[in-house]
Amino acid sequence: MWVTKSKLILASASPRRRDLLTEIKVPFEVKVADVDETPLEHEDPSMMVKRLSAKKALSVKGSWVLGADTTVVLNGENLGKPESRDDAFNKLKALQGSWHIVLGGVALVHNGELVENTVIESSVKMVSISDEIIKRYIETKEPMDKAGAYAIQGIGSQFIEEIKGSYSNVVGLDISWVVKTLLKHQIIS
């Protein structure tokens, strides 16, 4: 659907981000950013996703490069991706029955210079689920590489009661911001 005036590169290994761009018919290619995603000591989660999205985009060579990072925040604490099944259980146990924030950092780089960098915030309410259901969900392995230990676009969708803000941000990339920004910089038409 979209025509590109310049080649767009997605600096991400995330299949979810690839799927989102593919679904809206924005031509792009993938070059995986190899960056250390470890949070800095006492780093605010919002500043972390902003920093990491820029770091990813700046680490890949190309005319126009898009970088993104996502985290889940509960009561000010960055939950990130689970490190083990026990960690996934603890994250899901903490999230169930409450509201949490999903922060998506996005950055656009042009010829090695950062031109856009922002954070999109969505609020998500997860239903209350039993320990047994949490364990069964973890057995599917879906939670293991997802911030907050769930996939809103997958099996985990059944646990989501309500969203305020961008659904695609919760998946991993705010598509409306991407399209608006690519149009602004005349990358697509």
Give the catalytic positions in this structure.
69
For β-strands 64-74 and 8-10, DSSP reports them as parallel
Residue 17's closest CA among 124, 171, 176, 179? Answer: 171
Backbone angles phi, psi at 72, to 5 degrees: -110, 135
Could you give the CA distance from residue 118 to residue 108 in angstroms, rounded to a whole number?
Answer: 9
